[in-house]
Structure 1
Amino acid sequence: MDVKNAFLHGELDQEIYMIQPMGFQSQDHPEYVCKMCKALYELKQAPRAWYGKIAEFLTQSGYSVTPADSSLFVKTNKGKLAIVLLYVDDLIITGDDEAEILRTKENLSVRFQMKELGQLKHFLGLEVDRTQEGIFLCQQKYAKDLIKRFGMLECKPISTPMESNAKMCAYEGKDLEDATMYRQLVGSLIYLTLTRPNISYAVGVMSRYMQNPKKPHLEAIRRILRYVKSTIDYGLLYKKGEDCKLVGFCDADYAGDHDTRRSTTGYVFKLGSGTISWCSKRQPTVSLSTTETEYRAAAMVAQESTWLIQLMNNLHQLVDYAVPMYCDNQSAIRLAENPVFHARTKHVEVHYHFIREKVLQEEIEMKQIKMDDQVADLFTKSLSTGKLEKFRQQLDIVQRIRADIEGEC
């Protein structure tokens, strides 16, 4: 559902004044200002005022704000759920309590001017397909528009977003005459990673050079676009009927950044067959060993796992088991499981020992995995075509046509 003139419903909780609009100035008092009674568009306080209004309405209707996400509202009734997800003036309403969902839609239409958009098919550039096999998410139209916008329609497709074991440097190559296009490209590709985890690492690396991009960086970002063209109809498939258990994978590339010698953390979480959370991020400090690098990555995964467990519990999908966390470094696993603080780990910052507490509390279970099967490797380095395709398949990143065909069979 979409709210018409959402910001005009918001009520201000502080005094705000504005100059008299052009064409409406008072002849008697041209120096006067207007005291605002309600929010207007382009007012900084308008989004907060609107959120306060809609949150108050949903709370009075029996919904509760989830601690894990302030834009998620949940209502339970005899074991059934009604869920409202709010994004500014767009609302997604779902759940298995059909009577409550219908009542909520009616109440919203009475209280606000609403537009019924029907079953969810498009949302903020995301395309949602329902098949017999499950739900398929992609950004095919967004990707096409992106390629067209930056004049890459006639480019030659390529099988990987970045050369295998490519090493980018901040100061090699000529400066770009205008860095605007490069920054726009990176920003657009970051949004594309919402349904394309396979380009997260490449886009993350190129985002490091937005302040002063060079010609090699522009060529590398264009290569990502060529890869996007070759996989333009790919997206995430969430199969139904799968055992909805939360599983995590974490990995790190030791000293992978040539400029700072910092390592890159990569992790991914799956719920059943579907990929629900992933990250590729350069670590804030330099590590002194591969064990320290992997341990820092595991700590970051523990934080994300804690939030996901809270979110699942808020949705009344209790996580009453130790979440398996697969890591390919035995030393990091032993370090996380050992309750004794060794002298060798004194230099590791205190907050990175968060993972140790979670393991000892049996909220997380660290498990060994072979390097060749470590799917989080996709988020820490550029891979060969064979490995990329293997991990892409494990994450259920599939073609749209294939998903549709399988659903019809």
Structure 2
Amino acid sequence: MVARFQMRDLSVLSYYLGIEVRQGKEALMLGQSAYASKLLEWSSMTECKPCVTPMKERLKLMKDSTAAKVDATLYWSIVGGLRYLVHIRPDIAFVVGYVSRFMEDLREDHWAAVKRLLRYVKGTVNQVIVFPKTDESGLQLTVFSDVDMSGNINGRWSTSGVLVFLGSAPISWLLLK
């Protein structure tokens, strides 16, 4: 028996795997406001006070912290949700990677860093990434890099990151109300 599949046009893409898609004449916009709101709801932080930065400046968390232990299941599920949110929110990628390092032995100070990140997400829940539509005049390569030499206090290793964009125009961020 041969299975037959028929492909249909279901109209303009507006939502796919938790990513909201808005297509206009000038730009393509991707966001995850509904998913971010659901993540805040799961973590019981829908009524929290928003903050303007995802992490405290010069925050140094340790694996062998002496703070009280926290519920691992909640921490794992929230950090996993934040990892999915990074697809459209590269502004939180570093912090999500940082709090992911402490999954083995979770402490109150690690959870406080996650809650701070959730407060930042609350304040930027409507942020979208914008891909402007332009003429076919050519591609532009844009590269950003950063390094933290021996910034990890647990093992004294360095952390680095690179962000590469290839497109006809630079990508921009918008905070839509």
Do the aligned partners of 1:250 and 1:266 also contact (CA within 8 Å) in 2?
yes
Q: Find the counterpart in structure 2 of residue 270 from structure 1.
A: 165
1:254 pairs with 2:30: no
Partner of 1:126: 19
Computing the radius of gyration from Cα coordinates, the structure with the larger value is 1
Equivalent position of 2:60 in the other structure: 167
The equivalent residue for 1:154 is: 47
**2:105 maps to what in 1?**
212
> Structure 1 residues 129 and 116, CA, compared in 2 at 3 Å: closer, same or farther?
same
Q: Of the candidates 155, 179, 187, which is equivalent to residue 72 of structure 2? A: 179
Once residues 36 and 159 of structure 2 are traced to their aligned partners in structure 1, the CA distance between those partners, rounded to angstroms, is 26
Which residue number in structure 2 is paired with residue 398 of structure 1? 174
Aligned to 1:117: 10
Q: Is the 8 A contact 2:70 2:106 kept in 1?
A: no
Secondary structure, in 3 states, of the residue corresponding to 1:159?
coil
TM-score (norm 1): 0.40
- Tell me how large the CA RMSD over aligned residues is: 1.9
Determine the C-alpha separation between the residues in 2 that align with 1:116 and 1:175.
54
User: Aligned partners of 1:127 and 1:400: how far apart in 2?
Assistant: 13
Deviation at 1:115, TM superposition (A): 5.6
In structure 2, the CA distance between the partners of 1:177 and 1:232, relative to structure 1 (3 Å rule), is: closer
What is the correspondence of 1:135-146 to structure 2 with a 5 Å cutoff? 135-146=28-39
Query: Residues 201-350 of structure 1 correspond to what in structure 2 (within 5 A)?
Result: 201-241=94-134, 243-272=138-167, 273-275=169-171
Shift of the 274–236 alpha-carbon distance from structure 1 to 2, 3 Å rule, reads farther
Does the 8 A contact of 1:196 with 1:397 survive in 2?
Answer: no
Q: 2:115 and 2:76 mapped to 1: Cα distance?
A: 12
Matches within 5 A, 1:46-125: 111-114=4-7, 116-125=9-18
Number of matched pairs:
173
Q: Which one-letter code corresponds to 2:96 in the other structure? A: V
**The residue matched to 2:101 in structure 1 has which SS?**
helix
Amino acid aligned to 2:116: R
Greater percentage in helix? 1
* Identity across the alignment (%): 37
| Paired letter, 1:239 | P
CA distance, structure 1, for counterparts of residue 156 and residue 86 of structure 2: 25
Return the offset for 1:139.
0.4
Q: How does 1:346-361 map to 2 (within 5 A)?
A: none
**What runs of 5+ residues in structure 1 fail to find an aligned partner?**
1-8, 10-110, 276-395, 402-409
Shift of 1:113: 5.0
Contact 1:234 1:397 in 2 (8 A): yes
**Runs of 4+ residues over 4 Å off in structure 1:** 113-116
Distance 2:43 2:170 in 1: 31
Q: Which amino acid aligns with 1:117?
A: L
Structure 2 SS opposite 1:246 = strand
Work out whether residues 195 and 235 of structure 1, in 8 Å CA contact, stay in contact via their aligned partners in 2.
yes
Q: Give how far 1:118 is off.
A: 1.8
Instruction: For residue 166 of structure 1, report the CA deviation from its aligned partner.
Output: 1.3
Higher relative contact order (CA closer than 8 Å, sequence separation 6+): 2
Q: Secondary structure at the match of 1:209?
A: coil
Q: Deviations over 1:222-253 (max 9, x none)?
A: 11000000000002111111752222222211
